[in-house]
Amino acid sequence: MDWPVNVGDLEPLARDRLEPIAYDYVTGGAADELTLADNVAAWRRLRLAPRNLVDVSSLDTSTKLLRHDLPHPILLAPVAAHSLFHPGAERETLRGATAGEALAVLSTMSSTAVEDAAAGVSSPFWFQLYAQRDPSATDSLVARAAAAGAAAVVLTVDTPTLGARDRDRRMGLPPSTYPNLSDLPEEPDDTPPHRRVFHSRFSPSLSWPVLRHLLDTSPVPVLVKGVLRADVAAQAVDAGVAGVVVSNHGGRNLDTVPATADALPGVVQAVQGRVPVLVDGGIRRGTDVAKALMLGADAVLVGRPYVWGLTVGGAEGVAFVLDTLRTELEMAMGLLGATTLADLTPDLLWD
Ligand SMILES: Cc1cc2nc3c(=O)[nH]c(=O)nc-3n(C[C@H](O)[C@H](O)[C@H](O)COP(=O)(O)O)c2cc1C
């Protein structure tokens, strides 16, 4: 396979290979897709201020996140239904994550049951949790994920109701099955599509008591994903979360919320280093990763880029995306005069 030179160049290649319904599903955002576009634009807007005359003959992108020693700070974000993109689905993705030395977050809405996805996988992974309407169903998902080897649970808190995903409403959703949920009850919904607000699976009652219960009962650390506000981040840390993921769900839920690059500094300030802060949304370049760390993130996640890689080249494509971003990060660090991730300080952003 002749790989393109950057991650963005994979998108048209993926588009050529996907049914339009699947392409629109992965590409689309909510409503007018303003936040979707702004996620990418906000990283691009930031300008860099290199520190010259630093010996950069040795560059180290390694980091520690919870108890994981990671060779680089780029994670795979939870994305539903990988069988739409490759017949090997999440198993293929995890092989790519292993090859690219990245920690992957498996979605509740995976095409592969967490036990099957994780079988034989030696690298660490986390499990993304959608709280279910029946609390015991949520408990059972957490227990299954932990038993399958998930080292942490990432509770998504930005999806209590559906977003106005116009593309999905025009095209319909591609057919998928969700084996993690196959034994769990689903709320029948006979409202017509144009009046539908609630997801048949996800709990609209997701609130602080649900998080507190999860924190009390989960055998593995719990992070929250989908936070933009500083006060919510601070309250979650006070409640005992092990990390906060600044995310707007890739612009797929509530349109016109800010880009994650713009929300990140407020959350970092509120968390005050008590737990790691991660960020996702619009990260397409090594410079985006560097900028996220300059703004105080401990690590980043990418979503759509690795789905394009998975579509185009399976595990190899996922690893290509990770390797490319990691190499671009190293280049950026060298040119910025930063030899370690700790050197990626805010003064490297042009004021
Ligand atoms: C097709 C697709 C499916 C997604 N499924 C989930 C999911 O199941 N759970 C979740 O928490 N986030 C989900 N997300 C959001 C991602 O985890 C992540 O926040 C987002 O993709 C990051 O933005 P990026 O795609 O610009 O990198 C999904 C995103 C996409 C594109």
Residue 1 resides in a domain: no
CATH number of the domain encompassing residue 280: 3.20.20.70
Residue 164 resides in a domain: yes
pLDDT of residue 172: 83
Residue 22 resides in a domain: yes
Q: What is the dihedral of CA 176, 179, 182, 184, to 10 degrees?
A: -120
The protein residue with its alpha carbon nearest to ligand 1, atom 15, reads: 249
| Residue closest to 177 by CA, chosen among 186, 189, 169, 168 | 186
250 Cα: distance to centroid of ligand 1 (angstroms): 6
Tokens describing residue 136: 């015991």
The protein residue with its alpha carbon nearest to ligand 1, atom 10, reads: 78
Amino acid of residue 339: T
The number of distinct structural domains making up the chain is 1
The protein residue with its alpha carbon nearest to ligand 1, atom 11, reads: 156
303 Cα: distance to centroid of ligand 1 (angstroms): 5
Range of the structural domain that residue 149 is part of: 10-348
pLDDT of residue 213: 98
Residue 5 resides in a domain: no
**DSSP state at residue 163:** -
pLDDT of residue 306: 98
Which parts of the chain sit beneath pLDDT 50? none
Measured from the Cα of 39, ligand 1's closest atom is 26
Residue 245 resides in a domain: yes
Q: Report the length, in residues, of the chain.
A: 351
Residue 244 resides in a domain: yes
Q: Single out the catalytic residue among 82, 86, 199, 249.
A: 249
pLDDT of residue 109: 97
330 Cα: distance to centroid of ligand 1 (angstroms): 25
Q: What is the pLDDT of residues 154-171, one digit of tens each?
A: 999 999 998 999 888 888
249 classed as catalytic: yes
Residue 234 resides in a domain: yes
> Helix, strand or coil for residue 148?
helix
Residue list, ligand 1 pocket, CB within 6 Å:
25-26, 39, 77-80, 107, 109, 128, 156, 225, 247, 249-250, 252, 280-283, 302-304
* CA separation for the pair 35, 39 (Å, rounded): 6
Residue 3 resides in a domain: no
Structural contact between residues 223 and 257, judged by C-beta atoms closer than 8 angstroms = no
